[in-house]
Amino acid sequence: MDATATLLAVSADPVQLARELAERHIGDGLPVVVATPERVDQMLAGTPRDPDEVIGHMPPIQGLVTPRYVAVNGVLAGCSPEHMPVLLAVAEALMAPEYNLFAIQPTTNPVTPLVIVHGPVREQLGMNWGAGCFGPGNYANAVIGRAVRFLLQNLGGAIPGKTDQATHGWPGKYSFCAAENADQTPWEPYHQRVGLDADDSAVTLFAVQAQHNIIDVTGQNGYEALNVIGRGMAAVGSNNHTMGGEALVVLCPEQAHQIADSGLGPTEAAEILFEHARIDMTGMPAPFQELIATRRPKWVDMSRLPIVDRPEDIQIIVAGGPGVHALYMASFALTKAVTRRI
């Protein structure tokens, strides 16, 4: 280990160890893998980078980020060396100024990073991008997502009730990672749409406050499906409602093909969603209307307030398995999605 790392004596009992690390605000309350020097060295074998290279500083406490410290948190989460390139790309994305982690970490909003993995690395790591991709049961999805939480906590200082002031939090803060279902996407994969090559491996970070399921069992074409999904996005009180910003829509493959078969691409789909994702503010309390008018002065028609300020603020990806379910993931608003090549 390097001279700045601290070795702790911990219990050999896994239950007691989980308790001890949670009390020290190092763990998440669940059993962990002990980050011994040997295991950390094994993790570091997964990257050619200098273990003590300064990658940056993690907001809000500006904790030092190096491959070694990323490896420590990866070991705690149960990661293997092959996950290191993904974790390093995520760490860099977390610190991108436009992601605005300095505001995300201490807010009372339940916002948490969602990691979406693109490209060949998905299959190499055995990730889940199909049925249940945002749920339990897949090793790579689970441990990568959990390692991200440890990075936020142990390097960025996001301790619940202290630095992390989320009023409620939500289970996505334990682990929130999946892969894009590019195999069943009728369009270019997301990372290609934002400027990378199709055969690149990459990660995208979204900052979302939850996921809202929208089902449409009657839609006969893409226009009807987008009508229902758009109306389902009109969530009163979300940060998108009160501040605008980007928002994420995850389409299942069936809906994506239904939309594509109607001659629509992601850009056209976002424009249609923008028109339907509207909120009638006229019956709401006057102070709430005044708040919206102050925060989003561009929109003077309170009877049709859009959930975001521009169609291009609606990000669309395809993930999941069979079924006619879409997910609306309202964002923290004061953030932008960040994609980094692995």
Each residue's pLDDT expressed in tens, for the chain with a length of 342 residues: 444 667 788 887 889 989 998 999 999 999 999 999 999 999 999 999 999 999 999 999 999 999 999 999 999 999 999 999 999 999 999 999 999 999 999 999 999 999 999 999 999 999 999 999 999 999 999 999 999 999 999 999 999 999 999 999 999 999 999 999 999 999 999 999 999 999 999 999 999 999 999 999 999 999 999 999 999 999 999 999 999 999 999 999 999 999 999 999 999 999 999 999 999 999 999 999 999 999 998 887 889 999 999 999 999 999 999 999 999 999 999 999 999 999
Question: Cβ distance 321 to 132 under 8 Å?
Answer: yes
Tally of CB atoms within 10 A around 239: 22
Whole-number Å distance between alpha carbons of 244 and 242:
6
Report yes or no on whether pTM surpasses 0.85: yes
Whole-number Å distance between alpha carbons of 184 and 216:
19
Report the candidate in 259, 269, 267, 252 with the shortest Cα–Cα distance to residue 326.
252
